Structure 1
Amino acid sequence: MDSCYKKAKFACDMGFHSGIWRHPMSRDKFKDRSLALLSDIRMTRHLPSLLSLRAFEAAARLGSFTLAAVELGTTQPGISRHIQTLERQIGQTLFVRLNRKIELTRAGRELAEDIILQFNIMARSIDRIRAQSESSLKITAAPSLCASWLVPKLDKFRKSNDGIHVELHQSKDNVNLELEGYDVALRVGEGIWNNLVADKILPLRLTPLCDAGFASSADFSSIETAFKSVRPLNRKDPNWQIWFAAAGYHESTLCKDSELKLTSREMYAHLALSRQGFALLSPDIYSAQIANNTMIQPFNTVIDLHPRAYWLVYPKWTRKNKLITRLRDILTSFIGGTT
């Protein structure tokens, strides 16, 4: 370590006192940063390898190289080599090797007392954190999914998994799951995100929906008469053009009223439920409202924006695969014939 420190300090001094200064940082700031780095180098812990410490801890606790090998899933000669390495690194003999047994030396007993205690502390901490982790699920989801579709299903998921704590956050952005501490996300997209698994939950299908109160006042016998009675909301949404084309209707005949600009389909759904007009919505997400006659779907034409869809997204390496699988099964069980 001292040799490493001296070499690094020499390199720093040579760069600092050189007549040619090409670093964008000022000389004084560079010197302060360099000295702080050198201090960190000196203070770095000089610890033996974790493999050697694990081998020693198991052998000392069990009183046998053979039993230690069984516990750690290795061989007796492997345990012996790790302990010999540890003895060389600390400059002390830790075991006396007898014919059929081993005994700790005084240095070995002193080290074993601390090492076993610290490994027990680490094991308890890991078990506690693992138990907390495996009994909770933190979810981030697109707002368009949350209130109308996702929340009732999460309630069923929670009730069918006793002791599970579920936390849901709404976000229009694709947040970094690991950085923000989320276990899983429900996203809209094409199912391709780096280092994430994406399971398709729902297709992204759209059709005009409106409040059921229009059933008695509007003429839904044709698209033309329907849109004379009920105006389309958010006409600037390009998906309206796709839907009109699929329905074989020329939207140019529609009057172009001024309208309120909103930022999400969920907001337009609330407008639709206030008898303000047709909102272009997912019949899958609002299937419950259609089933209980809160909303009506007057037309059979539904556009599918494939490959865009709703996805359950989670890290490739997660300890919560079982929980996430159960959540996926709950979510997909509600789809029925809508896909």
Structure 2
Amino acid sequence: MADILASYSLGAIRVFEAAARLKSFTRAADELGVTQAAVSWQVKTLEQRLGQPLFVRRVREVDLTPAGERLARAAAESMGLLRAALSDLVEADQGVLAITTMQSLANHWLAARLGAFQLAHPMIAVRLEGSHVLRDLDRGEADLGLRAGDGDWPGLAAHFLMPFVQTALCSPEFLARHGPFERPADLLNQPRIGASSEWEIWFRAAGVAPPQNPEAPRLAADAQSIEVASALAGQGLAVGSPIFFAAEIASGRLVQPFDIAPHYGGGYWLVYPKDRRRVRKIVAFRDWILEAVAADPAIARHAADGGQAG
């Protein structure tokens, strides 16, 4: 076996793995920083050594042959393990942990808790990005991410954190001016913030037929935190997470007119490349955040009640 492995260049295997993953010699060349001709030559040399084709060449892309499929699976796993091992040796327990997540989760849940993680792991510096941009974790654009979805991202390990639930929220000043609200249908005629589709889910969960031709919302933003900030300022009612804004609800800065918080499908997950599952800084953060989730009473409540409260 050693003699067989020695006859093949690790560089050729690396080139083959990139071309197989990207289904393109040109894109593989861009990723590796070489010419398309160099990729083609390396693949051709590998095919000649093996005595069988690995790709079916097409005009703008390539497809794997059955032999190529077999080798691609092994090459991807091997290169992933090698990258993880090298990363682990270089980083050890130190370095920078780059986390990417959406703005609302970063601002209203994670940021307030990160101090505890840094106290427990003082040799790990955290770089937190709150953005709607989906970073490519396989290409190292971040070490790990907190994502919304169903937990199915090919190549990524996913750990469920909390359900995606939302409830109607407003400021106490808004309630004093426009309330009291005796039944959920009373909100139909109130100024609302956020997408009509999100309000439709809330109204249906409350047993109310949503308006057939809803008025345009006073504000619709790409971040929940912006919409709820408008509600905090007394501009209207917004739908927001009772988990993210649990502190504001508990302090009375935000009012939940009705104890109704339906699931909106999916949830929030911790994700990272499977081949980096043994990197110590990722393991440290994974263990810490799962403990933080388990200790959060708001998460426990809404996970247990299926997103509805009586």
Q: One fold, TM greater than 0.5?
A: yes
**CA 1:253–1:164 in structure 2 vs 1: closer, same or farther (change >3 Å)?**
same
Question: Once the 2 structures are TM-superposed, how far is the Cα of residue 127 of structure 1 from its aligned partner?
Answer: 8.5
Superposed CA RMSD: 3.1
Query: Which has more helix, going by share of residues?
Result: 1
Q: Secondary structure at the match of 2:170?
A: strand
1:305 aligned residue: 264
For the pair shown, which has the larger CA radius of gyration, 1 or 2?
1
Distance in structure 1 (CA, Å) of the matches to 2:253 and 2:89: 47
1:317 aligns with 2:279: no
1:288 aligns with 2:247: yes
2:302 aligned residue: 338
Question: Once the 2 structures are TM-superposed, how far is the Cα of residue 263 of structure 1 from its aligned partner?
Answer: 2.1
Structure 2 gap segments, 5+ residues each? 1-34, 42-85, 304-310
1:189 to 118, 133, 149: 149
Q: Secondary structure at the match of 1:291?
A: helix
**CA 1:173–1:37 in structure 2 vs 1: closer, same or farther (change >3 Å)?**
closer
Q: Secondary structure at the match of 1:249?
A: coil
Question: 2:220 touches 2:227 (CA, 8 Å); kept in 1?
Answer: no
Q: Percent identity?
A: 27
- Counterpart of 2:287, as a letter, is T
**CA 1:254–1:277 in structure 2 vs 1: closer, same or farther (change >3 Å)?**
farther
Distance in structure 2 (CA, Å) of the matches to 1:35 and 1:277: 60
**CA 1:37–1:255 in structure 2 vs 1: closer, same or farther (change >3 Å)?**
closer
- Counterpart of 1:338, as a letter, is H
Distance in structure 2 (CA, Å) of the matches to 1:190 and 1:35: 40
Question: Once the 2 structures are TM-superposed, how far is the Cα of residue 274 of structure 1 from its aligned partner?
Answer: 1.1
TM-score scaled by structure 2?
A: 0.62
Distance in structure 2 (CA, Å) of the matches to 1:35 and 1:146: 43
Distance in structure 2 (CA, Å) of the matches to 1:298 and 1:292: 15
Deviations 1:18-77 (A, max 9, x none): xxxxxxxxxxxxxx9879999xxxxxxxxxxxxxxxxxxxxxxxxxxxxxxxxxxxxxxx
Q: Secondary structure at the match of 2:122?
A: coil
Question: Once the 2 structures are TM-superposed, how far is the Cα of residue 179 of structure 1 from its aligned partner?
Answer: 1.5
User: With CA pairs under 8 Å and 6+ residues apart, which has the higher RCO, 1 or 2?
Assistant: 2
Distance in structure 2 (CA, Å) of the matches to 1:33 and 1:266: 45
Moved over 4 A (4+): 32-38, 125-128
Deviations 1:263-312 (A, max 9, x none): 22221111111111111111111111111111111112221123x11111
Structure 1 gap segments, 5+ residues each? 1-31, 39-124
1:219 to 180, 204, 216: 180
Distance in structure 1 (CA, Å) of the matches to 2:125 and 2:154: 28
